């Protein structure tokens, strides 16, 4: 296995479902040693909710089972050897279960991922991705509930960037940092960066998903004038050159795209280089040339791809508590986290 930029970094992941596991998957693919800490009884709910997603998000990690309510002391031993701890409890739960995490390890980077942050009027509210999207403004912009958990992933990847920045800071200061990551706030950043009124809502002819003959779909993203010109030339309609944003043109393009299959449109427009792509089904990703080098066994790797895909761990997602004895023994004798110098 090739060493990544985070080789030697030890990460404790106390999270469940998607945001935290996605965050620690990226850290793992960058070379970190990630240990998933699970409750002996419930564990990560994602095992039952979506076994395939659990397997995809937790490959290459190890799992230990700790009952923090009855005996949090093994976690203290692990924190002494860890560089990073990621938790996704409701605000106040970590302080109640294991207050020493925040008090006794000044060099530890603690990333706290929650729906609404550790402070503020919504800190204690329960929530899931759909609620964070609603409150952030993203759902109003999207117009429908997306099939991908956008707030969860935005929160997870924002957590990655915050953790990396905190590790870099620790190299200079020898001190860690507690990071307060709100999934709602992370999603809102993307929404606020968008233009109002939104011309990218799929109603404009130059930026729309089109239903093709046979049921497939093809998207056009010809926002810039040169790309729209290339599209118009490719379909033989120079009279459309000044109508890229004209919603009255949309029905005509709907009718046009319905005359060919998705793959026929892909073949016809590929040479035009007009920002068009086929809408792939998930089942088609593995066989598509764009993803040929991005699979780790059965699963797609994470980004950024700083470690060659072939060098990443293909170890399957762990069974709950599979590595408890191994990790406790190994980390108990490990050297403390590295400092600058």
For the segment 284-295, what is each residue's pLDDT rounded down to a tens digit? Answer: 999 999 998 999
d(CA 33, CA 63): 11
d(CA 62, CA 76): 18
Section 306-323 average pLDDT: 94
Q: Show contacts of 320-324: CB within 8 Å, 24+ apart.
A: 320/38, 320/40, 320/43, 320/44, 320/47, 320/63, 320/65, 321/38, 321/40, 321/43, 321/63, 321/64, 321/65, 322/62, 322/63, 323/35, 323/62, 323/63, 323/64, 324/63, 324/64, 324/65, 324/66
Q: What is this structure's pTM?
A: 0.91
pLDDT of the residue at 26: 98
Question: 251-271: string of b/e by CB count within 10 Å (b at 16+)?
Answer: eebeeebeebbbeebbeebee
Cα 30 from chain centre: 14
pLDDT of the residue at 338: 63
Could you tell me the strand order of the sheet in which 207-211 lies? 207-211, 217-221, 276-278
Section 168-188 average pLDDT: 97
pLDDT-based confidence at residue 6 (cuts at 50, 70, 90): very high
Tokens of 183: 């999934």
Strands 276-278 vs 295-296: parallel, antiparallel or unpaired: unpaired
pLDDT of the residue at 194: 73
Statement: residue 339 has pLDDT above 60 = no
For the segment 187-227, what is each residue's pLDDT rounded down to a tens digit? Answer: 998 888 776 778 888 999 999 999 999 999 999 999 999 99
Nearest alpha-carbon partner for 26 in 293, 312, 248, 329: 312
Statement: residue 73 has pLDDT above 60 = yes
Q: Show contacts of 322-326: CB within 8 Å, 24+ apart.
A: 322/62, 322/63, 323/35, 323/62, 323/63, 323/64, 324/63, 324/64, 324/65, 324/66, 326/62
d(CA 57, CA 51): 10
Q: Which position has the token pair 């403390």?
A: 336
Tokens of 47: 């095992």
Report the catalytic residues. 128, 152
Radius of gyration of the chain (CA): 24
Section 308-330 average pLDDT: 95
pLDDT of the residue at 142: 85
Mean pLDDT of the chain: 94
pLDDT of the residue at 2: 56
Section 112-119 average pLDDT: 97
pLDDT of the residue at 197: 75
Q: Which position has the token pair 């997603």?
A: 53
Domain boundaries, the chain: 10-193+298-332, 217-278
Cα 199 from chain centre: 26
CATH number for the domain formed by residue range(s) 10-193+298-332: 3.40.50.10540
Statement: residue 340 has pLDDT above 60 = no
Q: In the chain, what percentage of residues exceed pLDDT 70?
A: 97
pLDDT of the residue at 147: 92
Section 232-256 average pLDDT: 98
Question: At what angle are helices 19-29 and 150-173 packed, to 10 degrees?
Answer: 50
Tokens of 232: 């118009």
Strand locations in 128-177, DSSP E? none
For the segment 14-64, what is each residue's pLDDT rounded down to a tens digit? Answer: 999 999 999 999 999 999 999 999 999 989 999 999 999 999 999 999 999
Could you tell me the strand order of the sheet in which 10-13 lies? 62-65, 33-38, 10-13, 84-87, 109-114, 178-182
């Amino acid at each position: 296995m090739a060493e990544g930029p985070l080789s030697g970094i030890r990460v404790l992941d106390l999270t469940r479902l998607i945001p935290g596991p996605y965050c620690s998957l990226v850290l793992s693919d960058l070379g970190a040693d990630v240990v998933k800490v699970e409750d002996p009884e419930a564990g990560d709910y994602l095992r039952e909710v979506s076994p395939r997603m659990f397997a995809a998000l937790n490959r290459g990690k190890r799992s230990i089972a700790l009952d923090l309510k009855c005996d949090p002391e093994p976690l203290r031993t692990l924190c002494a050897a860890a560089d990073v701890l990621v938790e996704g409890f409701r605000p106040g739960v970590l302080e109640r279960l294991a207050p020493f995490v925040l008090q006794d390890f000044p060099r530890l980077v603690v990333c706290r991922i929650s729906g609404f942050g550790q402070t503020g009027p919504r800190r204690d509210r329960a929530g899931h991705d759909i609620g964070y999207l609603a409150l952030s403004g993203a759902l109003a912009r999207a117009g429908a509930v997306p099939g991908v958990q956008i707030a969860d992933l935005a929160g997870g990847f924002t957590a990655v960037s915050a953790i990396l920045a905190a590790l870099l800071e620790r190299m200079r200061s020898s001190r860690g940092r507690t990071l307060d990551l709100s999934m709602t706030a992370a999603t809102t950043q993307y929404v606020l960066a968008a233009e109002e009124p939104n011309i990218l809502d799929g109603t404009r002819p130059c930026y729309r998903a089109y239903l093709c003959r046979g049921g497939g779909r093809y998207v056009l993203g010809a926002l810039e004038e040169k790309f729209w010109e290339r599209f118009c030339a490719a379909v033989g309609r120079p009279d459309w050159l000044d109508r890229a944003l004209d919603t009255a043109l949309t029905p005509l393009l709907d009718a046009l795209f319905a005359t060919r299959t998705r793959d026929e449109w892909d073949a016809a427009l590929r040479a035009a280089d007009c920002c068009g792509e086929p809408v792939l089904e998930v089942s088609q990703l593995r066989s598509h040339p764009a993803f040929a080098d991005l699979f780790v066994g059965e699963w797609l790797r994470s980004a950024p791809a700083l470690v060659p895909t072939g060098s990443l761990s293909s170890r399957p997602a762990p069974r709950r508590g599979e590595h408890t004895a191994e990790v406790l023994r190994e980390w108990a004798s490990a050297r403390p986290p590295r400092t600058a110098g």
